[in-house]
Amino acid sequence: MPSIDLRSDTVTQPTDEMRRAMAEAEVGDDVYGEDPSVNRLQDRAAELLGKEAGLLTASGTMSNLIASLTYCHRGDEIVMGDQAHMFWNESAGASALAGAQIRLVPNDSQGRIDPDDLERAIRPAGNIHTPSTTMVCLENTHNKCGGGVLTPEDTEKVASVAHAAGASVHLDGARIFNAAVALEVPVRELVKDVDDVSFCLSKGLSCPVGSVLCGSQEFIDQARRWRKMIGGGMRQAGVLAAAGLVALDGMIDRLAEDHANARQLARGLASIPGLTLDPDSIQTNIVIFHVDPSLGSAADLIGALGREGVKVGSPEEHYIRMVTHRHIDGGDVEETLGRVATVVKAMG
Ligand SMILES: *Cc1c(COP(=O)(O)O)cnc(C)c1O
């Protein structure tokens, strides 16, 4: 029985074209700024996103941390949504290493934050008792909010409140190309109002390693120094950048297939008694659904599905997450739905 891995789009393997490009990559010492493949990738990414400069980092977590280090002094405050990846899944790097305090405002079901909530959360300037709000973070698509998408208008409203208060806006755009494809808007439209953006090469775009942080030349110059300090200065990193260039050329448009498969998966899951989700809310490649406690815990269902060869994750108690990606086709979706129905029936 072939196993179906829906835990994350991070399980994607590099394509044959990527492996060839990696083997043949022209490389140099990137800490000296001399790796032509890295320089090409950074320039290409910055151009695509409409920013002045780019910086290759080891991971999305490293990019987010570098942004925090660049914008914050010890004792500053970062405002973000209460479902943010940076808050839940990055080992408190912004607090532990950048010395910033995190303040949360509610995320709605799609991962948006209300500009009025943000305005109330931002600290007034010039009070020695309070931290300074120097950074506001958005996430697009929103991981814990079911792959929800922020439109250019959603982003603009939040960014204008942040900027009016003198705070910089960082976009955790790990899956920003999924948002662009889902909305059918150029990616630069989605990031035009933020100061910097990080996106992952290693998720749906199928690269083995890497993220790119993009922003103004001044921001990237500072970010490069922080990257070096935390040990992220890589030498012949062009081997990685070569795969990234293949991804930016050929892997973005196909994300639409992952989204179609996610919708097919969501419609099927919603018809299984005991599983609850709104299939119409699925915009990208992440499907999160509720498991009725009468069936057992989400952990029980994960265990039972695992024995049927279906690997999934659980973002929180009573919820299961499935993520579609390049190695999941329509047949795998149907096969998954059959195995889930069997397992749920046996549990009920
Ligand atoms: C995956 C992810 C990250 C972290 O990326 P890594 O490369 O796994 O460190 C950050 N933010 C969001 C929204 C993510 O989905």
The mean pLDDT value of the chain amounts to 97
Amino acid (1-letter code) at residue 16: D
Neighbouring-strand partners of residue 170: 137, 196
Closest CA to 139 of 91, 186, 200, 98: 200
What's this model's pTM, rounded to 2 decimal places?
0.97
* pLDDT reading at 229 higher than 90: yes
How many whole angstroms separate alpha carbon 134 and alpha carbon 151?
23
CA of residue 129 to ligand 1 center, whole Å = 34
Question: pLDDT-based confidence at 1, cuts 50/70/90?
Answer: confident
Mean pLDDT of all residues in 157-177: 98
DSSP letters along 70-95, please?
HH--TT-EEEEETT-HHHHSSTTHHH
Contact 301, 347 (CB under 8 A): yes
Question: How much is the average pLDDT of 118-136?
Answer: 94
Q: Ligand 1 mean position to 202 CA, how many Å?
A: 9
* CA-closest candidate to residue 285, choices 1, 8, 63: 8
Q: Thinking of the domain 254-347, which architecture would CATH place it in? A: Alpha-Beta Complex (3.90)
* pLDDT higher than 90, residue 125: no
Q: Does 267 have pLDDT greater than 90? A: yes
Q: Which helix (H) or strand (E) holds 56?
A: strand 53-57
Could you tell me if the CB of 264 is within 6 A of ligand 1? Answer: no
CATH fold for domain 13-250: Aspartate Aminotransferase; domain 2 (3.40.640)
SS3 53: strand
* CA-to-CA separations, 148 to 109, 170, 327, in angstroms, rounded: 8, 18, 22
Instruction: Please tell me the number of Cα atoms within 13 Å of 326 on its side-chain side.
Output: 18
- Whether omega before 141 lies within 30 degrees of 0, making that bond cis, reads yes
Alpha-carbon distance of 147 to 175, in angstroms, equals: 9
How far apart are the C-alpha atoms of 305 and 282, rounded to whole Å?
22
In ligand 1, the atom with minimum distance to the C-alpha of 61 is: 9
Distance 10 CA to ligand 1 centre (A): 9
Output the CA–CA distances (angstroms, integers) from residue 191 to 159, 183, 200, in the order listed: 10, 13, 15
User: Tokens 């890497």, residue?
Assistant: 210
172 lines ligand 1 (CB under 6 A): yes
Residue range 34-82, pLDDT digits in tens: 999 999 999 999 999 999 999 999 999 999 999 999 999 999 999 999 9
* Strand order from edge to edge, sheet including 319-323: 275-276, 286-291, 319-323
85 C-alpha vs ligand 1 centroid, how far in Å?
7
- What pLDDT is stored for residue 348 in this prediction? 81
Contact 212/45 with Cβ under 8 angstroms?
yes
- Residue 336 CB less than 6 A away from ligand 1: no
Q: Where in the chain is the domain with CATH 3.90.1150.10?
A: 254-347
Nearest CA to 10 out of 237, 285, 268, 262 is that of: 285
Asked if pLDDT for residue 126 goes beyond 90, the answer is no
Whole-number pLDDT of residue 260: 98
- pLDDT at 2 (0 to 100): 85
Cα separation, 347 vs 175, in Å, equals 34
Whether residue 51 contacts residue 265, with contact meaning beta carbons closer than 8 Å, is answered with: no
pLDDT at 124 over 90: no
Tell me the CA–centroid distance for residue 329 and ligand 1, in Å. Answer: 24
Which residue in the block uniquely carries the two structure tokens 């070096």?
228
The torsion defined by the Cα of 114, 120, 125 and 127, in degrees rounded to 10, comes to -150
Residues of the chain with CATH 3.40.640.10: 13-250
Q: Between these two residues, 316 and 233, which has the higher pLDDT value? A: 233
Q: Which atom of ligand 1 is nearest to the CA of 62?
A: 9
Report the nearest-CA residue for atom 3 of ligand 1: 60
* 139 touches ligand 1 (CB under 6 Å): yes
**Which of 9, 86, 172 for a ligand 1 pocket mutation test, highest count of atoms within 8 Å of Cβ?**
172
Instruction: Choose the residue to mutate in 143, 205, 211, 286 for probing ligand 1, maximizing ligand atoms within 8 Å of C-beta.
Output: 143
Beta strands in 179-317 (DSSP E): 196-200, 211-215, 275-276, 286-291, 310-311
Q: Is the CB of 60 under 6 A from ligand 1?
A: yes
pLDDT of residue 158: 98
Give me the long-range contacts of 119-124 (CB less than 8 A, separation at least 24): 119/161, 119/165, 121/79, 122/79, 122/161, 122/162, 122/165, 122/167, 123/77
Give the pLDDT score at 135: 98
Which residues have C-beta within 8 Å of that of residue 288, sequence separation ≥ 6?
A: 144, 146, 277, 315, 319, 320, 321, 322
Q: Which residues pair with 291 in a beta bridge?
A: 275
Alpha carbon separation from 150 to 78, 105, 118, 191 (Å, rounded)? 20, 16, 16, 10
Q: What is the pLDDT of residue 77?
A: 98
How large is the average pLDDT for residues 259-284? 98
Residue-wise pLDDT for 277-318, tens only, equals 999 999 999 999 999 999 999 999 999 999 999 999 988 899
Nearest to 175 by CA among 195, 156, 191: 191
